Amino acid sequence: MREVRGRRPAPRAHWLALVVVLLAITAALALNGYVSGELTDAGYVRPPGPAAQVPESISTGGPVIGSRAGAVTSVEMPPRTVVLTFDDGPDPTWTPRILQTLRRHQVPGSFYLLGSQMLRYPDLVRRELAEGHEIGNHSFTHRDLSTLPPWEQRWQLAQAQLALTGITGSTTALLRPPYVFSAESLDDRYWSLIKDGHANGYITVLADVDARDWERPGVEKIVQNAMPKNGEGAVILLHDAGGDRAQTVAALDILIPKLKSAGYRFTTISEAADVPAYHPSSTGEEWRGRALVWATKISHWIAALLAVLLLVAGVLTVARMFLMLGVARRHGRTRRRSAWGAPVSLPVSIVVPAYNERAGIEPALRSFLASDHPVEVVVVDDGSTDGTGDMVAELNLDGLTLVRQQNAGKPAALNAGIRAAQHDLVVLVDGDTRFERDTVRKLVQPFADPEVGGVSGNAKVGNRRGLLGRWQHIEYVMGFNLDRRLYDVFQCMPTVPGAAGAFRRTTLADVGGVSDDTLAEDTDLTVAVVRAGWKVVYEEEARAWTEAPLTWGGLWKQRYRWCYGTLQAMWKHRRSVVQRGASGRFGRRGLLMMLIFQVLLPLSAPAMDAFLLYGLFFLDKQTTVLVWGGFLGVQFVTAAYAFWLDREPPWPLWSLPLQQVAYRQMMYLVVIQSVFTAVYGIRLPWEKLRRTGDVQLPVTTGDRS
């Protein structure tokens, strides 16, 4: 409608910024999920294959396979020389205990680390180096590399190498592929992998002795398995991660003294095989490694924030359900047991602000005038360009007054209508709304209580055909109207909707009429009335049927204006939080609940959907589906009870799961965009929605009392 002077232009890049932020968060969560993947989810491990291409000198040779004089050869451990090697770490529980044990016995170890674990526990990697142990590459995520294409094999090793470089500045030359034990267990595909690794500077370290500690057979059995035979040298395979390693830790305290007493010397791979353990890294590799480390840290922080938001969303959702259900039941019992007082029969003025309402205003006006309560209708044509005023004049209906003015905005039109109204009770209603015969009578009965200054009616979606209309119908019933019962019980009603609301003229005069300070003039007015000490109540029997947007674009404009206007009203009335009396009561009840349920809950609720996607890729799928299903179940219970309270057929609830997947995401974006707009300080113009007049009232519209 009108342009607002001094309005700052909306920034054109904010949507691009939002998309970039969402993509960055998605990438961070993907990285965190990939890094945090469990070892048990390592993918397919193939059975042994043919070994015709493996040279006999390799398959019958030692566990250290490297390049010498241009040929790939193997190296055996010298007699009575052992190297203790540990796979799959580092682990925050078991690696420190193993390091303590090695330090106590003053023996070195060789640790073959996963890149994902290094990024999660970088301090342990630094500790291993600082205490004189060797570090090798065990891939990034413990996949069976022989089942992967060559590019992914190299990527797994390169990413683990990059993690090590970013943490320590070193580049290891030692490689131990997952799921291959000894030289004699090599087949053609592993041999191809080893040759490709050597071409890229790696020395492969396998093992002579497998302690089989991963089976957790008992401490004595691990010690027995780990002992070399007949005084031979050996590379001993153990684990410091991948499960409960308490038996491994205990076995070391027996194994090391036993080997020492048998005359064994403990050393490292580089010393025993006379091969380099590390390669120098370039400046570019170090910077890329540091970038990966920082990206992992940031992704962990974002995932932790997601977990917090998930907890907040879950707690708020469950709390809202119990609060709404308990309070709504109390509200219904209270309303049934009590009457407002003597019946109110005073005539009522219905004020209708109209701007380009030609499509649907005639049936709206006829429904108002058909009320079973004495009414006059005042239509304020706010400079319409579609002939709305002329059409209203041509109707020539008894009890109808037309006021024309230049376009000045909805608040100005409402104030003009209030000034022209003849009666002390005023109903403010939008031009697309239709009343049932008893709506006005039901709406004004609470004014029998002289402390009541405003009454909210029960706004219903009148064009609920189609999926979008059905979803809005669900939202009105389980959201808006259920909320109003809550606010009514706590005496802190924040909004008398434009579709159905009534006030005393004295109340409106008391607060200075309808303000144009915000886009949510109905919320701003209602809050002002409550803060002034008047009661504002909810009369669920006064039903009004309104036209909901038929397109996603129209819905976005409407909800964006509502949400942003609500934020404006909350900010305008923020001082009520520290005030006394009725104003303070509203601030500490109404504003707090608005902040929690209309701002914080929508802002945190996307964590539930992010958790669903994250969990399907990186967590236990059954647990993920159960958690999300529980959230959906809470929503369904709340919706079903709200429909029962409103005496609505439950059939539209079949579309609730779809609403949670699609419609709800748009409402999240509306809140996010509104908060962004509020922070930026933009003043928005009024957005006129396209009306069709497609509002269907129920077949029976008589008195339901």
Point out the residues that are catalytic.
87, 239
> Is the distance from CB of 557 to CB of 457 less than 8 angstroms?
no
Taking alpha carbons only, the member of 183, 197, 191 closest to residue 153 is: 197
For the record, the structure tokens of 320 come out as 């809202």
Question: In sequence order, what DSSP letters do the residues of 292-355 get, joined into one string?
Answer: HHHHHHHHHHHHHHHHHHHHHHHHHHHHHHHHHHHHHHHHHHHHHH---SSPP---EEEEEEES
Cis preceding linkage at 363, omega within 30: no
Q: Is the alpha carbon torsion for 512, 3, 364, 339 positive or negative? A: negative
Round to whole Å and give the CA distance between 51 and 186.
7
E-strand ranges in 512-648 read 535-546
Round to whole Å and give the CA distance between 641 and 330.
13
Task: Report the phi/psi class of residue 421: left, alpha or beta, with left for phi > 0 and alpha for psi in -120 to 50.
Answer: beta
Round to whole Å and give the CA distance between 294 and 166.
9
Round to whole Å and give the CA distance between 458 and 685.
28
Round to whole Å and give the CA distance between 198 and 192.
10
Round to whole Å and give the CA distance between 652 and 359.
27
Residues whose CB falls within 8 Å of the CB of residue 64, separated by 6 or more in sequence, listed in order: 74, 75, 76, 203, 204, 205, 206, 235, 269, 272, 273, 275
Residue at 240: amino acid letter: D
Round to whole Å and give the CA distance between 456 and 192.
76
- For 371, counting Cβ atoms within 10 Å of its Cβ (0-12 exposed, 13-18 middle, 19+ buried), the class is buried
Taking alpha carbons only, the member of 462, 472, 498 closest to residue 353 is: 498
Residue at 197: amino acid letter: G
Residues whose CB falls within 8 Å of the CB of residue 46, separated by 6 or more in sequence, listed in order: 144, 146, 147, 189
For the record, the structure tokens of 370 come out as 């058909």
